[in-house]
Amino acid sequence: MASTLTTFVQAFGEETTDAGKQSEDAEPPQRSFGRSDLTKAFVSLSSCPAQLDLVTNNGQELSQLAEEMKQSRNMIDQTRQVLHNQEQRRELAHLPLQQEKQQYLTDLERRKKDFYAQWQHQTDKLEETFAKKTRDSIFRNLVGADQWFSAGKK
């Protein structure tokens, strides 16, 4: 590589000096290259195939990564579709159970109303019986007191 570098620098170095001699009459050269500039140019040019290989490998890796991303995206879409289908099936399977639950709750509510109505009826009967016995007791006490007064008068 050192010999190719030396050859490169000498070839371009001679061309720039030849071009400088030939063009003195026409127009001055815009920029002259030194040995360090030429060395840098040679190194960058000689490393181009390696960089191109690296970029090509990266490009292949990127295309491979893009393909993997597409596959992942497809798998995610398929998973979402499967979950959506399962949710629909669960709702359809749950629908009869929901109807049974609603029937049960309606029946339970009706039985509660019946129970509370019966309980209220029994409570009213007890209150009526208690009120009647209280009235009878009060009446007997008053009538009994009246009989005592009336027995004393006779």
Give CA angle at 49 (46, 50), nearest 5°.
Answer: 95
The whole-angstrom separation of Cα 150 and Cα 147 is 5
CB contact set of 146 (below 8 Å; sequence gap of 6+): none
Give the residue with greater pLDDT, 15 vs 35.
Answer: 35
Q: Where are the domains of the chain?
A: 2-12+34-146
Residue-level pLDDT at 129:
96
Q: What is the pLDDT of residues 31-57, one digit of tens each?
A: 566 777 777 777 776 666 666 677 677
Q: What is the pLDDT of residues 69-105, one digit of tens each?
A: 899 999 999 999 999 998 888 877 777 778 888 899 9
The token duo for 69 is: 């991303």
Of residues 64 and 46, the one with the higher pLDDT is 64
Locate tokens 């629909």: which residue? 88
Distance CA 91, CA 104 (A): 19
* pTM exceeds 0.75 for this model: no
